[in-house]
Structure 1
Amino acid sequence: MSHSHSHDHGFGGHSHDHSHSHSHDIRFSAAEHGHSHEILDGPGSYLVREMPIVEGRDWKERAFTVGIGGPVGSGKTALMLALCLALRESYSIAAVTNDIFTREDAEFLTSHAALPTPRIRAIETGGCPHAAVREDISANLAALEDLQREFATDILLIESGGDNLAANYSRELADFIIYVIDVSGGDKIPRKGGPGITQSDLLVVNKIDLAEAVGADLDVMDRDARRMRDGGPTLFCQVKTGKGVEHVVNLILSAWRSSGAEAVSKARGGPKPTEGLDALKAE
């Protein structure tokens, strides 16, 4: 079954209206689909990517937000856990996860005592998970703003549902975008491109310990990532064991400071450690 739709999009510094028609392997009615897709002219470029929205940004309404995306199984949730553990002692943080029909990732963070349970929220997106972080961000924005009102956070973390290489965050949702891939898909993944690879603020190549087992050449991945990202930052990590996580944290904090969000935290007496950690560790 084919369907057609039209929409506006601004990508790579331009916008226009157009219509198109295509077929999905999984068939939706308009009501079931519930959103339109952004049509990309190309994978984009790190140097001309959409930049964080700083002018007019209200850091009191929603703290500096780190968006983590990537394909299913790349290690997004493991990175969420690692960042929670690394940041929570010095910064007030909270997290939002996205799954299609479950609360699996939020439950993972809770079971691993990443944060006090009230600071972890789960969104069940249904359908296309990229829509919840790109085309219709309302549910995620509401969850993040609720967490901000309740906990006055310094930094917020959000994880998208696992998706394909064309998925990326709206800048109205994420101030710092991390895209996670892993070596199990082979060393061709960086050169396949896609907005997550080319336009994220940071590309993380995870599970580097598996490279030899799957025949992936890390030097090739490094070369291709540099080329596809115009030299934008790429980190090779083994998130599960913590290798490389410190560098991820440093880049996040550098962006947080330069955005102006740090000044807002300091003005209200922060940054402060996440409350409730003693009780969490005692459980």
Structure 2
Amino acid sequence: MPDPVTPTRSLRLGVAGPVGTGKSSLIATVCRALAGELRLGVITNDIYTDEDARFLRSAGVLDPERIRAVETGACPHTAIRDDVTANLAAVEQLEADFDPLDVVLVESGGDNLTATFSPALVDAQLFVLDVAGGGDVARKGGPGIGRADLLVVNKIDLAPYVGVDVEQMVADALEAREGRPVLALSRSDEASVQELRAWVLSMLAAHRGGTHEPQDPGPMAPHFHADGEEHTHDHDHEHPHEHSHA
């Protein structure tokens, strides 16, 4: 009989960040680096399309059936934090269809700096920024930047063209994160790709060993929808039902 603390399902890894930071490209990079040794699946989120899923399928990084899309029909953070039902169902169906899977990557739709995943949906999460968004973004903080399991400063090969000092951006990120890990990444830089690969493998090992506990990076900051009313989301109070990770 297996150790009761040892997970019997995949590591569910969330990938969040603003529009255009390279979340889909990062997932493709992870798949290329690890598909030869791990059994992978991907769930993408878009508001009204399956664009990201089609991009990944066309890239040939996995069997197309292992890449599935959720059309959220609402703010991206709603489907990854406030009501995770559609994403959780998609993840569980993928796991059932390809049992066993080692890792399922769940890509958020592009959102702002406050977007984080509910721990009811993912076991760990990384947040993606890119140098083209500006070197000052990392020090602006927010739940995703400050408390995701890993912060990725992406597209560092573009830094000379947009006038960004990558070392300073990483230093700002480390300060904002109080020393939590930061990875400067370019898909064309093999050393950084190997660092990303090693991080995923270490997180999988911790998940399997029962030494990693999913963390909640914090509630969404108050924000405004088209109705002009202020909305504050609290996953624990608005959605008291619990999801088991066992």
TM beyond 0.5: yes
TM-score (norm 2): 0.79
8 Å Cα contact 2:6-2:208 kept in structure 1 = no
- Residue 244 of structure 1: SS of its match in structure 2? helix
Taking structure 1 as reference, are residues 142 and 94 closer, same or farther at Cα in structure 2, changes over 3 Å only?
A: same
Deviation at 1:74, TM superposition (A): 0.4
1:139 corresponding residue in structure 2: 86
Write the distance in 2 (CA, Å) between the matches of 1:137 and 1:190.
27
RMSD across aligned positions (CA): 1.9
2:68 corresponding residue in structure 1: 121
2:18 corresponding residue in structure 1: 71
- Residue 82 of structure 2: SS of its match in structure 1? coil
1:187 aligns with 2:161: no
1:227 corresponding residue in structure 2: 175
1:93 corresponding residue in structure 2: 40
2:117 corresponding residue in structure 1: 169
Deviation at 1:253, TM superposition (A): 1.1
8 Å Cα contact 1:180-1:204 kept in structure 2 = yes
Given candidates 100, 107, 125, the residue that maps to 2:54 is 107
- Residue 187 of structure 1: SS of its match in structure 2? coil
Taking structure 1 as reference, are residues 139 and 261 closer, same or farther at Cα in structure 2, changes over 3 Å only?
A: farther
Taking structure 1 as reference, are residues 137 and 115 closer, same or farther at Cα in structure 2, changes over 3 Å only?
A: same
8 Å Cα contact 1:110-1:116 kept in structure 2 = yes
Write the distance in 2 (CA, Å) between the matches of 1:154 and 1:199.
24
1:159 aligns with 2:107: yes
1:149 corresponding residue in structure 2: 96
- Residue 170 of structure 1 aligns to which amino acid in structure 2? S
- Residue 127 of structure 1: SS of its match in structure 2? coil
Given candidates 195, 199, 206, the residue that maps to 1:247 is 195
Write the distance in 2 (CA, Å) between the matches of 1:100 and 1:204.
23
Which runs of at least 4 in structure 1 moved beyond 6 Å after TM superposition? Answer: none
- Residue 101 of structure 1 aligns to which amino acid in structure 2? Y
8 Å Cα contact 2:42-2:104 kept in structure 1 = yes
1:12 corresponding residue in structure 2: none
The gaps in structure 2 that reach 5 residues or longer are 211-246
The gaps in structure 1 that reach 5 residues or longer are 1-55, 263-283
8 Å Cα contact 2:17-2:112 kept in structure 1 = yes
- Residue 248 of structure 1: SS of its match in structure 2? helix
8 Å Cα contact 2:7-2:207 kept in structure 1 = no
1:214 corresponding residue in structure 2: 162
Q: Deviations over 1:157-188 (max 9, x none)?
A: 11100000010111111112111100112111
Write the distance in 1 (CA, Å) between the matches of 2:121 and 2:54.
23
- Greater Rg by CA: 1
Deviation at 1:59, TM superposition (A): 3.6
Write the distance in 2 (CA, Å) between the matches of 1:138 and 1:225.
32
Q: Deviations over 1:176-233 (max 9, x none)?
A: 2111100112111011111110011111001112212212122221221111001111
1:201 aligns with 2:165: no
Write the distance in 2 (CA, Å) between the matches of 1:64 and 1:261.
11
Write the distance in 2 (CA, Å) between the matches of 1:261 and 1:133.
25
- Residue 105 of structure 1 aligns to which amino acid in structure 2? D
Percent identity over paired residues:
46
Q: How many residues align?
A: 207
